[in-house]
Amino acid sequence: MKQFTDLYWRLDGTTSTNEKVAALRDYFAAAPHDDAAVALGVLSGGRHGRAVSLTLLRQWAADAAGLPAWLLEESYAHVGDLAETIALVLPPPAEEAGDSESSLAACMQSTVQALRQAADDDAKRAIVEAVWRRLAARERIVWHKLLTGGCRVGVSKTLVARALAEVAGLEPAVMAHRLMGRPIETAAQFATLLCPDETEADSQRPYPFFLASPLDADAPSLGDVAEWQAEWKWDGMRAQLVRRGDEAALWSRGEELMNEAFPEIVTAAAAFPAGTVLDGELLAVRDRRLLPFASLSRRASRRRVTKQVLAEIPCVFVAYDLLEAEGEDLRSEPLAHRRALLERMVPHPFDKAIDTGASVSGPPADGHDSGQRFFLSPCITADSWDTLAAARATSRQRGVEGLMLKRKASPYAVGRTRGDWWKWKIEPLEIDAVLLYAQAGHGRRAGLHTDYTLGVWQGDRLVPVAKAYSGLSDAEIVEVDRIVRATTLEKHGPVRVVQPTLVFQLSFEGVSRSTRHKSGVAVRFPRIARWRRDKEPQDAGHLADIERMIEMASSAGATA
């Protein structure tokens, strides 16, 4: 535990990339493999559920410190980090030695795992209080973060891969590839990760994804349009289909195996030869129409998919790149060459399989499903940037997010390498909305209200339609915070109900009807574009305006 605690504070104390890589390298070179496997899972951002509820942890800490609950909450609001707040208010440890001298793996097993298996809250409290008596504040903070699943230390997977590559004597790209896919959970798996030779575990791993950057400049600044490949930017889930040996694996961009959520895709992949890796997009399609992204999310969140769900939300894989063919890694080849091979492997263009139009919802019209699961993402033929701009202008009617621009000579890189892949998205939808609720932020903005719930008019009342984190400047945040405190009507825990006085321009990517929200609508990727100081609350938008956006998209799709 001491080694990992030292690593945490070493990483927390620097913004230098080289210093962070050095800290990671030193830790992984010295730590026992079972500790290193646990640390890797934490540092890589893996999902680690809470071992105990935050409500109970707050209550026990307040009792141990002899503080009223409200004072602990006020302290948290000012500190901005719950793990640090609890560590600071607790009395000093009563024992000299303890978990700080034990291994990270042993600490996780004896405390975090034990808490998850504890019979009741009293048993959990006994475990927590016993650890508090042994750890100093420095170790308590790190342990609290492990306990609550919030141990983030500002290192990316790329930096972790670089450090491990130095330890193993491998190329960073090879290590990044090995870190994709199934998690490293045991000492044996960590030892395999450092093996200099290709291992059996490498067989079904995906490649690191190449990510596009937003195009902020004018498209003509990219040069000759003939040097670029243009495609629609589909509103789906990025995925890689890996077919090696007799098995197929479907991986999300977040490195999650999705075979159980999309069994029809995995089954259809048997048609491809061994040694095939496709990069593409998962989309939900029914009756030749694109379904909303929310429908696709329903599929992705399921461990088991029923026949009813398969019928209601049929899915397809739209391929736009070929990363491996007949076992040969093609990523260093130019995109134009990879595309030519892909067109022979996946000959069915997706635009021929759907009716151009906006997303639809509701029950199946006739239950029609062609059974075809793999399609080719079509290229958009254009002799000028003006032609592509005109195509981009039709994106919303087609149910897509804009265009993807890819340099034909580009290799398939790792991560967000700028210059070769750009996403040229359409302008967002916008509406003026009123601030209804505010909540304080954490970390650097602790004590300032930066989380806003915004509403629009429905008749003579305001209804909430979105929660947005601040897109304001630091000076504006401070000013809004003062207004929030001065106009608070009620307080519900950390949430303040405020007098409706502030109007903000709310931007979002899309909108659909929703039975989960009181307003009956759900907006996608909401964010604050600017503070509308020139408007009063009565000048804000109406729910009917948002509903009209849904109707316009549907009618445009029907006539496209």
What are the tens digits of pLDDT across the range 227-282? 999 999 998 999 999 999 888 989 888 777 788 889 999 999 999 999 999 999 99
Which has more pLDDT, 357 or 448? 448
Span(s) in the chain for CATH 1.10.3260.10: 2-148
Any bridge partners for residue 244, and if so which? 247
Which tens digits make up the pLDDT trace of 364-409? 444 455 678 999 999 999 999 999 999 998 888 888 889 999 999 9
Which pLDDT does position 469 carry in this prediction? 79
The domain 213-425 is placed in CATH, from the list 3.30.70.890, 3.30.470.30, 3.50.50.60, 2.60.40.740, at: 3.30.470.30
**pLDDT exceeds cutoff 80 at 78:** no
CA-CA-CA-CA dihedral for 56, 57, 58, 62, to nearest 10: 100
The predicted structure's pLDDT at residue 304: 78
Q: Which amino acid does the sequence have at 164?
A: L
SS3 per-residue string spanning 464-515: EEEEEECCCCHHHHHHHHHHHHHCEEEEECCEEEECCCCEEEEEECEEEECC
Tell me the C-alpha distance between 77 and 496, whole Å: 13
Task: Kindly report, as residue ranges, where domains of CATH 2.40.50.140 are found in the chain.
Answer: 429-556
Mean pLDDT computed over 341-363: 76
Band of residue 558 on the pLDDT scale cut at 50, 70, 90: very low
pTM passes above 0.75: no
Question: What value does the mean pLDDT take over residues 459-480?
Answer: 89
CATH topology of domain 2-148: DNA ligase i, domain 1 (1.10.3260)
Pairing of strands 503-508, 429-440: antiparallel
Q: Residue 557 pLDDT > 60, yes or no?
A: no
Give me 2's structure tokens.
């001491």
pLDDT tens digits along 166-217: 999 888 777 877 887 667 888 988 998 888 877 665 677 889 899 999 998 8
> With 90 as the cut, is the pLDDT of residue 483 above it?
yes
**The pLDDT value given to residue 317:** 97
Is residue 2 part of the annotated active site? The answer reads no
Dump the DSSP string for 214-238: E--S-GGGG--GGGEEEEE--SSEE
Which of 124, 233, 406, 425 is the catalytic position?
A: 233
- pLDDT of residue 357 exceeding 60, the answer is no
Mean pLDDT across the chain:
86
The boundaries of every CATH 3.30.470.30 domain in the chain are 213-425
Q: Which residue has the higher pLDDT, 355 or 414?
A: 414
Mean pLDDT of 150-172: 83
CATH superfamily of 429-556: Nucleic acid-binding proteins (2.40.50.140)
